[in-house]
Structure formats: C-alpha cells, structure tokens
Chains A and B, each alone.
Chain A
Amino acid sequence: MNESELQDAVSRLPKSIEPPRDLWPGIEARLARSGGGAWRRRWYWVPLAAAAVLVFLLIARAERSAWDVTALAGRPLIGTTRLAASGRLRVGDWLQTDDSSRALIAVGRIGQVEVRPDTRVQLVVAKANEHRLALARGTIDAKVDAVPRLFFVETPAGTAIDLGCAYTLETDSVGHGLLHVTAGEVEFQTGSHSSRVPLGALAQIRPSTGPGIPYVEDAPAPFVRALIGFDLEQRGTRARAVRTVLALARPHDALSLWHVLQRVDPSLRGVVYDRLAALVPPPPGVTRRAAIALESRALEGYWTKIQRIHFRIMVLQGVREIDPRTGLAKP
C-alpha cells in the first residue's frame, strides 16, 4: 500500500461509530453522584494547588543543578579554576580548553559533549526540558539521546537544534563554521532562516547568512563550490549560481535542492522544482503548484520522502545498494 492509497482509506473511515452498548446509564449515575454544581466539589483544589506550586518551585530549584565535567586531557578551565579530574559546570559558567586540553560535559541525563582543544563554551540553561550551551569558538562533538528539541547550542551565527542525533560543530568567534551530522538530524537556525542537516551531511555556517545549503559528505567538489557560491550571492543575482547547482545535482543531492527551492527568488522556483522532481519524484499529494508556493504541507511531505531515502542510503551503506530516486533496494 502506498501513501496515496493509505490516505484514500483514511478518508473513507466513518466519522461516527456507535458505542457497542448504551453508555448513558453510567453517565447518569455519575452525574447523580456529583450532585450538580461542580464548584462545590472543588474546594480541595486550593490546598492542592498550593502544594503543587511548592513542589514545582522545589523541582525548578533542583533543575538549576550543574552538569558534570570530566577532564579528558590537560587541565581545562571552569571560570578561573583549573579542572583537575572532574568538576561541575553551573549555569553561567564558562568552560575553556587550551591547545592541549579536552573535556567531556554530561548534558543532564540526555547526552554528552566533548569539548575539543581551543574551545570556549558556556552553560546557558540546564533544565529538564531545555539543555542549552553557547559555543563562543572552537569545536564540540555532541551526542544526544532524547526526543527532538531538548538540546541547543548557540553560536555567533545561530543555534543548532538537536532532533535526536550526534554531530560535530565548529565555529570561530565571528560565526564562520561547519556543522557535520553523524547520526539523526540537526536543525540550524538563524532567525527565521534554517537548514535541516541529516546524518552524513554538512552545512557551512556564515555570520551574515547563517546556515548554508546542506550537502552530503560525498557531494562532488564542484557541486559544493556552486552551493557555497549560491549561499554567498545576493538575492537577484543568484540565477547563474542556481543553474550551476541544478546542472551538477545528482539524486543524492535532493536534500540540497529541497533547501535551494525555498531560498531562490520566486521566479526560479519552477526550474528548481522541476530538477528536484526529475531527480527524486515527489510523493503522492505533493503538487508542483503547492511546492512552488512553499506550502508547508507540500514541503514537509517532500522532505519526508527525501529524508527517508537518504536515511536508507546511509543506514544500508555497504549492505545494500539503494536507488537514490526511490529509496528501494536495487536488485
């Protein structure tokens, strides 16, 4: 069964199903027990609410706890204190490594970050629902095992948002950097501008333009140069860069074209879409008109297909050869 057949079947489901027995007697009995005015039964909410507030405050206080740090090499600095073997990084503290020191930060209970030499990083938020570091400069290797959007790394050029993954992020103090994802997926966001980078893909980061168009590890150098050229071109003068990107793109590069589609001038979206559709046909339900209009449902549907094919290629690398147009194993 394909996606379209599934949607057809779903649309035929009845909106109403009669319960197998009459539920009214049970409802009536409960209404009789409740005795009418709901407010009368709710006096106990006052002490309960007070207790809940107290518990919340205690939990919130506990969540401000620091993260564990272990020195892997040399003697990293936490603030102005040299770390001997291990220590605690508190909210607001800076951890700094020199050219011969490295450290490992435990990200709450959800993962870890290795801090490479010549790196400066600050703990910004340490809560159960938000784990946030600021990477001022240097390189980190992050590995997180949690639901998406719990771990964030701010850089001078934007924020890396974990979608359940492992990645290496490097930046200089101005914001030039590189994101390389080795598991799962990362979203890099600068204002309303964002790139989705799945495993086996990279994205250049620039202080002026934020995340560049992501590309796969084995993308040919001319294609990567063309993408970088596209990223650096001003709006209105991108036509030539776009045509170079389209000419060099392979089916493996669909994830790059999906991003290009959203960043080109409206007049160029048609040619980008046509090239993308020729390389990886859109899934059922995604129309040219909707994709060119950048309707989120169409873009999400297309991304889901591109992402699924990409993951299959990466996960089955060396095991089975996957057709990059369809995601199916080649015979």
Chain B
Amino acid sequence: MSDDLVARAQAGDQTAFRELYRQHAGRVYALCLRLTGDGRDAEERTQDVFVRLWDKLRSFRGDSAFSSWLHRLAVNVVLNERRTTGRRERRVMPAEDPDNVAGAQHAAPLHLNIDLERAIAELPDGAREVFVLYDIEGYGHGEIAQLVGIAEGTSKAQLFRARRLLREKLER
C-alpha cells in the first residue's frame, strides 16, 4: 500500500503525497520535536521535511524501506537547519558552556507533559541531538558524527553529558 502511494507521489500525485503525510507525520513530528526541543520549531521542521520530501521523492529508489529513508531525510533537514541557525546565532552570541545553560534556552512545549520528554527538551542542543539519535533512534556514534558534523569522541562525550543531565533532572 505504502509502495503504491510512494510510486503515485513520485509521479506527481499530490493526493497520494497527502496520504503519505498522514501516515508519517506523527513519526516525523516526534523526531523533530525531540531534536529541536521546541514545539513550534518542530512544526516548522516537520513542514520543511515534507516540502523537501516532495522535491527529493524521485531520488528514492526503494533500496531501503521508505520510512527509513524518510527518517534519514528528516534528521538531515533538522540538523542542517540547526547548523544554519547556529551559525547565525554565533555571530551575535558569545560561546557558552552548555552545562550552564541547560534549561535556559528552551521553554518546554506545553503539550509535553511527560517528565522525560520535558527533560530531553531542556538539554543543551548538542547533547540533546546526540541523545535522541543514539538512545532513542538507535544511530551509532560513527553515523552521528557524520550527520552532526562532529568527532566520534565528541558524540560520546555529548551522550555521557546528556545522560548525566537527564538523570539529575529526573531525580529532582
């Protein structure tokens, strides 16, 4: 069923594409929400992912499951946006110690009423990205290093920091 939808959407059928959106929006939104830690950003990134998907759909050859391919595309969209935004912000903001700003950068989205989700949202950007990709999405440190543009050692350090911060937050 999904294969048929993909084929029709690849041929330009927007009704089929809308159905793909219906089927995958929840999965994509969950990923965006956890990677960004912000509900409004997550909505924007989810829209970005599906607009990008429309552009890239013809390059999907079926070598992997469509959902895996879309998932990877979504990760790239979110991380690229963060890199661009990060560069813009760094022009006007001094460097900061992520440990000291945990919780200050992001107001947790109102609909996140689960302690763990809220704690993840409040992690510093770098630590949150690595934690979500490694512990929730199952990526390896090598893949994360490539996706995020950091060294493998940094990925491990960020994961260690994220887990420590989460345990501390959840113990309060």
CA of A149 to CA of B151, assembled, Å: 7
In this assembly, does A44 line the interface, its C-beta being within 8 Å of a C-beta of chain B? Answer: no
Interface residues as binary, B40-73 with A (CB distance below 8 Å gives 1, 0 otherwise): 0011001100110011000000000000000000
Known: A13-B116, A16-B30. A26 touches B25 (CB 8 A): no
Contact A15 B55 (CB under 8 A): no
Contact A19 B51 (CB under 8 A): no
From residue A25, how far is it (CB to closest CB) to chain B in Å?
10
From residue B156, how far is it (CB to closest CB) to chain A in Å?
7
Contact A24 B30 (CB under 8 A): no
Contact A17 B167 (CB under 8 A): no
CB contact list, A208-251 vs B, under 8 A: none
Chain A residues, CB < 8 A from B46: 19, 23
Q: Which of A2, A14, A27 contacts B47 (CB 8 A)?
A: A27
From residue B20, how far is it (CB to closest CB) to chain A in Å?
11
Output the nearest chain B residue to A25 by Cβ-Cβ distance: B47
Known: A19-B29, A24-B18. A3 touches B154 (CB 8 A): no
Chain A residues, CB < 8 A from B117: 13
Output the nearest chain A residue to B160 by Cβ-Cβ distance: A304
From residue A196, how far is it (CB to closest CB) to chain B in Å?
10
In this assembly, does B163 line the interface, its C-beta being within 8 Å of a C-beta of chain A? Answer: yes
In this assembly, does A46 line the interface, its C-beta being within 8 Å of a C-beta of chain B? Answer: no
In this assembly, does A100 line the interface, its C-beta being within 8 Å of a C-beta of chain B? Answer: no
From residue B115, how far is it (CB to closest CB) to chain A in Å?
9
Chain A residues, CB < 8 A from B160: 304, 308
Interface residues as binary, B127-151 with A (CB distance below 8 Å gives 1, 0 otherwise): 0000000011000000000000011
Chain A residues, CB < 8 A from B25: 18-19, 23-24
Contact B171 A27 (CB under 8 A): no
CB contact list, A170-221 vs B, under 8 A: 187
From residue A48, how far is it (CB to closest CB) to chain B in Å?
14
CB contact list, B62-120 vs A, under 8 A: 111, 114, 116-117
How many residues on the A side are at the interface (Cβ–Cβ under 8 A)?
Answer: 34
CA of A43 to CA of B50, assembled, Å: 22
From residue B122, how far is it (CB to closest CB) to chain A in Å?
15
Chain A residues, CB < 8 A from B14: 28, 31
CB contact list, B23-47 vs A, under 8 A: 25-27, 29-30, 33, 39, 42-43, 46-47
In this assembly, does B121 line the interface, its C-beta being within 8 Å of a C-beta of chain A? Answer: no
CB contact list, A138-156 vs B, under 8 A: 147-149
Known: A3-B163, A13-B116, A24-B21. A18 touches B29 (CB 8 A): yes
CB contact list, B1-19 vs A, under 8 A: 12, 14, 18
Chain B residues, CB < 8 A from A34: 51, 54-55
Known: A6-B166, A13-B117, A31-B14. A147 touches B26 (CB 8 A): no
Contact A2 B135 (CB under 8 A): no
Chain B residues, CB < 8 A from A20: 39, 43, 111
CA of A14 to CA of B116, assembled, Å: 12
Interface centre among B12, B21, B25 (most CB of A within 10 A): B25
Contact A17 B30 (CB under 8 A): yes
Known: A6-B170, A300-B156. A18 touches B26 (CB 8 A): yes
Known: A20-B39, A23-B46. A3 touches B167 (CB 8 A): yes
* 3 closest cross-chain pairs (CB), A and B: A16-B26, A17-B30, A148-B153
Apart from A1-B171, A24-B25: 12 A-B pairs, beta carbons within 8 A: A3-B167, A6-B167, A15-B30, A16-B30, A19-B29, A23-B25, A27-B47, A31-B51, A34-B55, A38-B55, A187-B153, A308-B160
**A residues with CB within 8 A of B:** 1-3, 6-7, 9-10, 13-21, 23-24, 26-28, 30-31, 34, 36, 38, 147-149, 163, 187, 300, 304, 308
**B residues with CB within 8 A of A:** 12, 14, 18, 21-22, 25-27, 29-30, 33, 39, 42-43, 46-47, 50-51, 54-55, 111, 114, 116-117, 135-136, 150-151, 153-154, 156-157, 160, 163, 166-167, 170-171
